Chains A and B, each alone.
Chain A
Amino acid sequence: MLATLRTLFPYLLRYRWRYAGGLTALLFRGVLAAGVPLLIGRAVDQLAAGEQEAAVNFVLLVLGVAAGKGIAQYAMRWILITISRDIEYDLRNHISAHLVTLDRTFYERYRTGDLMARVTNDLAQVRSLLGPGLMYTAEIGVVIAAVLSIMAWTDWLLTLVIFAPMPLISLAVGHFGRRTHEQFQTVQKHFSGISVRVQEHLAGLRMLRAYNQGPAEVGRFGAANADYVEASLGLVRIWRSFYPLLELLVGLTGISLLGFGSWRVLQGEMSVGTFTMFIYFVAMLAWPMIGMGVVVNITQRGVASLGRLNELLNYRPRIADAPDALRSYDYVRGTIEWRAACVQFPNASGQAVSDVSLSVEEGESLAIIGPVGSGKSTLASLVPRLYDPTRGEVLLEGISVRRLPLDVLRKQIGYVPQETFLFSRTIADNIRLGRPDASAEEVREAAHVSLLGTDEDNFPDGLDTLVGERGITLSGGQKQRVALARALLKDPSVLVLDDATASLDAETEHALLERMRKATRNRTLLLVTHRVSSARLADRIAVMDAGRVVDSGSHGELLARGGLYARIHERQRIEEELAKP
């Protein structure tokens, strides 16, 4: 547990003075709060003696002390809880800053929903640990110490008798806290169970409807639902014993006070006022005793959540600046070379890319073509270091890409994926992603080359149209053109189009590629495509199959050789024929 908590130490240290202030306030509050019953007890004694005016003075004193207690309590809550909010803020920034450095393998392993749950819900649990958790722990300690010492000093024998059940309470809290924790895990598991059921149902909706699986699915959901209810009731069974048991033990302290305290009064060893004071103290101690359970709960959840956050924080990016990165570089030219590059994905049987050696000159254009799963995309994604090769290397201007600082490398590469993501901003802001300072003129120019914002697009506010959740939805082709404009605006030395125009029809694609080529004449172009019609625009074509480059050359040469390329070409001619009316 301590190892898990280590993440928090720097933050606790950063806010140490405020913590000191908050804890001082807490100490004042505890002592003043313990003073109140003392004064009320004295007031009652005055009344019992018939001294009404003296009692009134005590009342004024009570209200004064209570006011002081109130102020201390305000300071305590304000300081201690806001610190927890500040740490939450710091931690969230820290985690986010770490997350943006992590590579694809991380994001393939942790789904968006999972990450969001961690950065929000889990962090909230950690926040509870740092705020209310810490505050209650200290408060319980101070109140118990203050009250017990006053009581023991007044009448140690009575105190001993009254609080005999106290160790039992902490035992019960410990025992049931553990059981609650265990059962809670089971509940969580079954909760995911019902989520998965619904998700699966929605994913296979058409299939399930086609086979009339409605009633069977309701039955399956019912089973998961029943499991969840059963697990939740298991939790209820624990509470059903725990809470009444706590009430019993706390109640026993009251009863032993009534019995034993009255006996002391009858013997003349204690005044009615002191008896009253004890009644107040017993009431005051009820919360700290029950509160221990709450604290145990907060702590367990907080530590479990912190563990889940540590998992993210301890994840080291595999693709990051090398220690020997060449920091003096701020520009690289577009000569690319793959040298015996191999890529083996975890859990995959074969290599996605095996032993590829290939080079592209600055300003040259190379198309990579091949069937689905042939490794063409993977090969291209090695250039901007979306992945690193398992063996072999990729060089830019003769330097291994691993030795170039990541931001320098990526600045020089305009990578356009097949599926792009647009942020809920304006189209222009989306184009500006890589260069937020680009002028409106430059943005227009990039959009113009990408055939974006033509009359056909019909954007209500031109390039200032909002897209995404609060704006309009773009078609696949429009999205791809935004992505292209985005890459062009960077004016990179290497442009990588990873099947980036697949959603456009062949004619538009052809026009777009020609136009783009004209605008980026002296830049290196990597064109990953499954269409022969696009590939033939490139200076040279590499044909990939099962992770290897099986052939390369110009369109004419490849056709003449009659290999895989020729077969792909034929199949596409058939498709084109079909597309013609």
Chain B
Amino acid sequence: MSTGRSIGLDAARETLPDTPLYDVAILKRLWRYLRPYSVLATASLVLLMLNSALGVIFPVLTQVAVDRYLKPDPTADSLLDPWLPSEPMQGILWLAGLSLVALLLGVLTRAGQIHTMNWTGQRVMRDMRQEVFGHLQRLPVAYFDRTPSGRLVTRATTDVDVLNELFTSGLVAVAGDVLTLFCAFGAMFYLSPRLTLVYLGIGPLVWVVSMIFRRRARSSFRDVRKAVAKLASFLQECFTGISEIQLFSHEQHALSDFEAINDEHRRANYRSVRAHAVFFPVIEWISLLGVGLLIVFGGAWVVAGSVSLGVLLAFLQYGTRVFRPIQDLAEKYNVLQAAMAGAERIFELLDTEPDEMQAAAGQAELEQPSVEFRNVWFAYKDEDWVLEDVSFKAPPGGMVAVVGHTGAGKSTLVSLLLRFYEIQRGTILVGGRDIREWSPEALRAHFSVVLQDSFLFSGTIAENIGLGDPEVSPKAIRGAAANAHLADHIESLPEAYDEPVLERGAGLSVGQKQLISFARALVHERPFLILDEATSSVDPDTERKIRDTLSKLFVGRTSIVIAHRLSTIQRADSIVVLHRGRVIEHGGHDELLARDGVYARLHRLQSLAEAVPVQR
């Protein structure tokens, strides 16, 4: 049983159509997830076996009913004989009672089996999702730069769900089908080995037909998959590029291309429909052929008196029953293949090497809050240097302003300081020690950070400020909000600090979002502040609030600021002018003015600009 979610689009687009159906390595690995629940899983399997066994009892009881009471046959005997009364009607009631007991047991085992199987499946899926998400925490930031986020969302959601089908509809149903086949054949063999052999005569035919179907189904499944992927790609392009399509009057062309792809999808499905439309009637006809063989041969033996009529009747019932599992098995094919593909993709993610930096975990004391970049070189790829030989210092309690044009490498500087990436050459020192002496977590615990894009997650405002840190008291949160000029606004909300923030902070203005991230930095009392000033323009009132909060932030912290406001730059103890990854000027305000270089020019122009009256 599944929640019936179809395979995700992203998954469909990525699926390698040739994932083998039974990859032993994958199955083994899946088995490991099942191990913590082995007791329940075993219980589920036992219940499944009991259920299958109970399911084949009824025909045996009809055999007894016919041979003993309805058309008494002295040659036929059964295990039940000693207990059964001789009076026919009483006997029949006995048998009906027995089958009622079997039915009730069957129903109970079924309920138990559904419960244990799904409980296990859901727990396994939960563990797996948790592992995928936990693994994401260990992957380096660079991994997320190159992997589309949609794909990662699919891993933790749809792929795991498809895998659920492998456990519940797939493997367990297959096991159930196989067990039912075994039990049915066991019962048949017990009743009459000879008739069983006759019936098995249709076996090869079933096998051949199933094989042909399997091949057809596989190839049409592959074609359908490909067609779905094409359809999805095309639609995605159309929806993303809808403006271009409309502005360039390209609608009719796009639609006729789409019709062709849509038609391809339809035709691939036609082939799958045909495979199924042929398979089911053929297999049903073969099942009746089996019934026919039983009547012809078994009938001759019944007339000759070597097989009882009741036994033949029981066989006639089994003859139709064993075909249900066979049809089921054929239907399960697609589910299994999709699940295997999902498992493969999940394991591929889990096999991605985690952040190597974790390994170098150490605990260094922070003696004094200073920062130094010493001849740092960094490239995201090969030798495409983003930073070349960068050196500068921020003394304890001091403030460094980094200025430069877009693309000069300012944001990279921040990422390196927080150890999102490893530098190729040089050293970054914090408190006089190489940052590699800390684990990334220990290092980051010294920093309060405000990035350009103020990130808010769905939760309450208090949670967004305090980040759920138990050491941050509600009082501290209120204090920080007051310092960031947010208190009035927050208290005017219906639930004040417990007001939920919508996804990505929808409902808050850009300025308010910035102030919330300032409050977050304020409340976490850490020796360093990293600030990437936002460039987006805000109204003058908010601008004033931002400037004021900023000045509070700088107090008592060693700050590294990517500055866009002149007011911020002027406050700095030292200024680093970055150009195309190189430090072209570095020093204090007066020092740089005296040098009469880029910064001096900048300063003159800025002063001029500030002198221009503002019209608002």
Interfacial chain A residues near B1, Cβ < 8 Å: 236, 239, 243
A152 within 8 A of B: no
Q: Which of B88-96, B189-197, B201-209, B387-395 lies on the face that meets chain A?
A: B88-96
**How far apart sit A492 and B133, CA to CA, in the bound complex (Å)?**
51
**B93 and A259 contacting across the interface, CB-CB below 8 Å:** yes
Q: Which of A110-118, A352-360, A452-460 lies on the face that meets chain B?
A: A110-118
Q: How large is the interface on B (under 10, 10 to 19, 20 to 34, 35 or more residues)?
A: 35 or more
**How far apart sit A244 and B118, CA to CA, in the bound complex (Å)?**
15
What is the chain A residue whose CB lies nearest that of B5? A191
B347 within 8 A of A: no
**A563 and B615 contacting across the interface, CB-CB below 8 Å:** yes
**How far apart sit A371 and B539, CA to CA, in the bound complex (Å)?**
12
A252 within 8 A of B: yes
**A67 and B285 contacting across the interface, CB-CB below 8 Å:** yes
Query: Could you tell me which residues of chain B, from 250 to 295, have a CB within 8 Å of some CB in chain A?
Result: 250-251, 253-255, 258-259, 262-263, 265-266, 269-270, 273-274, 276-278, 280-282, 284-285, 288-289, 291-292, 295
**How far apart sit A421 and B250, CA to CA, in the bound complex (Å)?**
14
Q: What does the 1/0 interface line of B97-113 toward A look like (CB < 8 Å)?
A: 00110011011101100
Q: Per a CB cutoff under 8 Å, which of B3, B316, B444 touches A235? A: B3
What is the chain A residue whose CB lies nearest that of B445? A212
Interfacial chain A residues near B15, Cβ < 8 Å: none
- Given that A77-B280, A100-B245, A258-B99 are contacting pairs, would A236 and B122 also be in contact in the complex, using a CB cutoff of 8 Å? yes
Q: Per a CB cutoff under 8 Å, which of B156, B238, B451 touches A100? A: B238
Q: What does the 1/0 interface line of A379-397 toward B look like (CB < 8 Å)?
A: 0000010100000000000
Q: What does the 1/0 interface line of B224-235 toward A look like (CB < 8 Å)?
A: 000010011101
B335 within 8 A of A: no
**B114 and A36 contacting across the interface, CB-CB below 8 Å:** no
**How far apart sit A71 and B281, CA to CA, in the bound complex (Å)?**
7
**How far apart sit A40 and B288, CA to CA, in the bound complex (Å)?**
10
**Nearest chain A CB to B532's CB is how many angstroms away?**
10
**Nearest chain A CB to B35's CB is how many angstroms away?**
19
**Nearest chain B CB to A298's CB is how many angstroms away?**
10
Q: Which of B146-154, B180-188, B360-368 lies on the face that meets chain A?
A: B146-154
- Given that A50-B303, A266-B69 are contacting pairs, would A232 and B3 also be in contact in the complex, using a CB cutoff of 8 Å? yes
**A78 and B602 contacting across the interface, CB-CB below 8 Å:** no
Q: Which of A9-17, A274-282, A534-542 lies on the face that meets chain B?
A: A274-282
**How far apart sit A47 and B134, CA to CA, in the bound complex (Å)?**
69
**B282 and A70 contacting across the interface, CB-CB below 8 Å:** yes
**A211 and B524 contacting across the interface, CB-CB below 8 Å:** yes
Interfacial chain B residues near A422, Cβ < 8 Å: 241
**How far apart sit A233 and B565, CA to CA, in the bound complex (Å)?**
55
**B62 and A73 contacting across the interface, CB-CB below 8 Å:** no
**B119 and A218 contacting across the interface, CB-CB below 8 Å:** no
Q: What does the 1/0 interface line of A200-211 toward B look like (CB < 8 Å)?
A: 111111111111
- Given that A236-B119, A371-B537 are contacting pairs, would A410 and B129 also be in contact in the complex, using a CB cutoff of 8 Å? no
**B6 and A92 contacting across the interface, CB-CB below 8 Å:** no
A86 within 8 A of B: yes
What is the chain A residue whose CB lies nearest that of B7? A121
Q: Which of B38-46, B136-144, B554-562 lies on the face that meets chain A?
A: B136-144
Q: Per a CB cutoff under 8 Å, which of A77, A203, A225, A301 touches B149? A: A203
For the complex, count residues of A whose C-beta is within 8 A of B. 156
What is the chain B residue whose CB lies nearest that of A78? B277
B447 within 8 A of A: yes
**How far apart sit A208 and B243, CA to CA, in the bound complex (Å)?**
35
**How far apart sit A241 and B1, CA to CA, in the bound complex (Å)?**
13
- Given that A434-B249, A578-B404 are contacting pairs, would A89 and B445 also be in contact in the complex, using a CB cutoff of 8 Å? no
**A97 and B255 contacting across the interface, CB-CB below 8 Å:** yes
**B92 and A434 contacting across the interface, CB-CB below 8 Å:** no
**B240 and A421 contacting across the interface, CB-CB below 8 Å:** yes
**Nearest chain B CB to A44's CB is how many angstroms away?**
7
Interfacial chain B residues near A207, Cβ < 8 Å: 449, 451, 455
**B157 and A93 contacting across the interface, CB-CB below 8 Å:** no
**A570 and B537 contacting across the interface, CB-CB below 8 Å:** no
**Nearest chain A CB to B482's CB is how many angstroms away?**
21
Interfacial chain A residues near B449, Cβ < 8 Å: 207, 210-211
A69 within 8 A of B: yes
**B244 and A77 contacting across the interface, CB-CB below 8 Å:** no
Interfacial chain B residues near A550, Cβ < 8 Å: 615
Q: Per a CB cutoff under 8 Å, which of A47, A89, A384, A415 touches B302? A: A47
**How far apart sit A297 and B276, CA to CA, in the bound complex (Å)?**
22
**How far apart sit A468 and B237, CA to CA, in the bound complex (Å)?**
10
B595 within 8 A of A: no
Residue of B119, B299, B602 with highest tally of chain A CB at under 10 A = B299
Interfacial chain A residues near B609, Cβ < 8 Å: 567, 570-571, 574
**How far apart sit A247 and B107, CA to CA, in the bound complex (Å)?**
7
**A410 and B259 contacting across the interface, CB-CB below 8 Å:** no
B425 within 8 A of A: no
B584 within 8 A of A: yes
Q: Per a CB cutoff under 8 Å, which of B110, B141, B291, B584 touches A40? A: B291
Q: Per a CB cutoff under 8 Å, which of B88, B250, B606 touches A574? A: B606
Q: Per a CB cutoff under 8 Å, which of A36, A51, A229 touches B123? A: A229
Interfacial chain A residues near B258, Cβ < 8 Å: 93, 96
- Given that A85-B269, A202-B152, A211-B449 are contacting pairs, would A581 and B579 also be in contact in the complex, using a CB cutoff of 8 Å? yes
What is the chain A residue whose CB lies nearest that of B320? A283
**B70 and A275 contacting across the interface, CB-CB below 8 Å:** yes
**How far apart sit A372 and B510, CA to CA, in the bound complex (Å)?**
13
- Given that A112-B236, A229-B123, A570-B608 are contacting pairs, would A266 and B601 also be in contact in the complex, using a CB cutoff of 8 Å? no
- Given that A113-B150, A200-B457, A410-B247 are contacting pairs, would A107 and B242 also be in contact in the complex, using a CB cutoff of 8 Å? yes
Interfacial chain B residues near A77, Cβ < 8 Å: 273, 276-277, 280
Residue of A198, A251, A424, A563 with highest tally of chain B CB at under 10 A = A198
B385 within 8 A of A: no
B458 within 8 A of A: yes
What is the chain B residue whose CB lies nearest that of A232? B122
Query: Could you tell me which residues of chain B, from 362 to 380, have a CB within 8 Å of some CB in chain A?
Result: none
14 cross-chain CB contacts under 8 A: A47-B302, A63-B285, A78-B277, A81-B273, A86-B266, A89-B265, A116-B235, A201-B133, A205-B141, A218-B133, A255-B100, A371-B537, A433-B248, A579-B405
Shortest beta-carbon contacts, A-B, top 6: A70-B281, A434-B248, A204-B455, A259-B96, A421-B241, A570-B609
